[in-house]
């Protein structure tokens, strides 16, 4: 049985000599990091708890992948380049098979996105994974002469303007279907919905490609309705969502039917697509920017002025508001901590 330090060395220490900005990696009291000139740091931390955010019996490599993916997704949502990660791991026991799988899933995704694991912690207790990620983005994001250029960075939630399009990357909803499949006993990790749940793909390159074009954005982790409402509140605007424009992946339709697929997009969680607003004249450039990534971009609505007292998300079908839509589409509540979800 390896001791704590051997375990860290065996599973988590990597050669970081090529990693940008890493002056000192794991092994000392702190890591030492240097941000590039003219860059600002984007920092985020997320905890994944077994039985709350992921099924404890999920494949260890998926747990490692997923725990990092949800963090990388936050960097993607700011249009930041991933740089450095810290991993605080709480383990019920030292199970080397499990650790091997976990580390493989973690490192494979980390390498793909060029994020260096520069430190962390290992403790004993119920399985839980806390990851802090650091990304870099330019300090001045727009024309330096623009008065707002430093104070209003790209891809914040509060930058949407009236008339902006609401767009979403990829095929949301699949992860929700995947969670349901897992809960009903499916263990075929090649099932596309289950794969979307267990191994979500953080949209890091998309965030980088779109940060100049989008006015606001976030990563969707709790369904389009709830997450678009965050943009609405931050930007003090409402949004009209067209039901008929929601992208419904064939695999999602096959798993849940059309109605279920819509619900999964609107209120399902765990997808980590990017939900953005942008001026209509940027749409073509945005679609072209995502083409090399093989990633689609769907226009699903438009930002509009607030009528009444509060910003809200209005569901429309062919332009007609759906009566009591907020209820009728809420057949299952947004993710909460009582079920396995995030
Ligand atoms: P301290 O006693 O200062 O908290 P630790 O004994 O927890 O230090 O860790 C020793 C070194 O190993 C530190 O540099 C720490 O960042 C690193 N480390 C610990 N756990 C991990 C991990 N899971 N992944 C990467 N580095 C780790
Ligand atoms: Mg420690």
- Express each pLDDT in 187-213 by its tens digit: 998 999 999 999 999 999 999 999 989
pLDDT of 141 higher than 90: no
Q: Give the chain's mean pLDDT.
A: 91
Angle 190-191-196 (CA atoms, 0-180°, nearest 5)?
95
Cβ–Cβ under 8 Å, residues 157 and 170: no
Radius of gyration from C-alpha coordinates of the chain: 20
pLDDT band at 110 (very low <50, low <70, confident <90, very high): very high
The percent of residues in the chain predicted with pLDDT above 90, rounded, is 85
Nearest CA to ligand 1 atom 5: 121
Distance 60 CA to ligand 2 centre (A): 23
Distance 84 CA to ligand 1 centre (A): 14
Sheet (strand 39-49) strand order: 39-49, 128-138, 81-91, 116-124
pLDDT digits (tens, 9 = 90+) for 56-97: 999 999 999 999 999 999 999 999 999 999 999 999 999 999
Kindly state the average pLDDT of the residues 307-325: 85
**What does the pLDDT read at residue 155?**
83
Q: Residue 21, class by beta-carbon neighbours within 10 Å (0-12 exposed, 13-18 middle, 19+ buried)? A: middle
Q: What is the DSSP letter of 280?
A: G
Which residue, among 288, 152, 305, has the nearest Cα to 215 in the 3D structure? 152
Nearest CA to ligand 1 atom 10: 27
- Ligand 1, residues at Cβ distance < 6 Å: 8, 12, 26-29, 87, 89, 117, 119-122
Nearest CA to ligand 1 atom 8: 29
Number of H helices, E strands in the chain: 10, 13
Kindly state the average pLDDT of the residues 116-121: 98
Residue 249: both structure tokens together: 């992946």
Distance 43 CA to ligand 2 centre (A): 20
Nearest CA to ligand 1 atom 27: 120
Q: How many CB atoms lie within 10 A of CB 12?
A: 19
Ligand 1 atom closest to the Cα of residue 121 is 20
Q: Is the dihedral of CA 213, 111, 118, 94 positive or negative?
A: positive
Among all bound ligands, the one having the nearest atom to the CA of 89 is: 1
pLDDT digits (tens, 9 = 90+) for 10-57: 999 999 999 999 999 999 999 999 999 999 999 999 999 999 999 999
């Amino acid at each position: 049985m390896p001791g704590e330090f051997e375990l860290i060395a065996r599973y988590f220490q990597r050669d970081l000599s090529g990693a940008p900005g890493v002056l000192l990696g794991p092994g000392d009291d702190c890591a030492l990091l240097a941000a590039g000139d003219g860059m600002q740091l984007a920092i985020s931390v997320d905890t994944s708890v077994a039985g709350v955010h992921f099924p404890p019996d999920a494949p260890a490599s998926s747990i490692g992948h997923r725990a990092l993916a949800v963090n990388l997704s936050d960097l993607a949502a700011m249009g930041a380049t991933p740089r450095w990660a810290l991993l605080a791991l709480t383990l019920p026991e030292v199970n080397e098979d499990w650790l091997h799988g976990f580390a493989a899933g973690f490192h494979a995704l980390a390498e793909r996105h060029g994020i260096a694991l520069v430190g962390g912690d290992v403790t004993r207790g119920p399985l839980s994974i806390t990851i802090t990620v650091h990304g870099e983005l330019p300090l001045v994001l727009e024309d330096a002469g623009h008065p707002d250029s430093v104070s209003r960075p790209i891809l914040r939630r509060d930058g949407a303007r009236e008339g902006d399009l609401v767009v979403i990357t990829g095929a949301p909803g699949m992860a929700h279907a995947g969670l349901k499949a897992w809960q009903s006993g499916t263990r075929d990790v090649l099932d596309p919905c289950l794969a979307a749940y267990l191994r979500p793909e953080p949209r890091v390159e998309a965030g980088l490609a779109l940060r100049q074009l989008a006015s606001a954005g976030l990563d969707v982790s709790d369904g389009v309705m709830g997450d678009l409402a965050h943009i609405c509140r931050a930007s003090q605007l409402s949004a009209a969502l067209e039901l008929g424009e929601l992208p419904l992946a064939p695999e999602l339709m096959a798993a849940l039917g059309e109605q279920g697929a819509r619900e999964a997009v609107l209120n399902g969680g765990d997808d980590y697509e990017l939900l953005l607003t942008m001026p209509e004249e940027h749409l073509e450039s945005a679609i072209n920017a995502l083409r090399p990534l093989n990633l689609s971009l769907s226009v699903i609505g438009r930002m509009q002025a607030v009528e009444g007292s509060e910003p809200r998300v209005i569901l429309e079908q062919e332009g007609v508001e759906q009566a009591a839509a907020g209820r009728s589409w809420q057949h299952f509540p947004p993710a909460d901590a009582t079920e396995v979800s995030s």
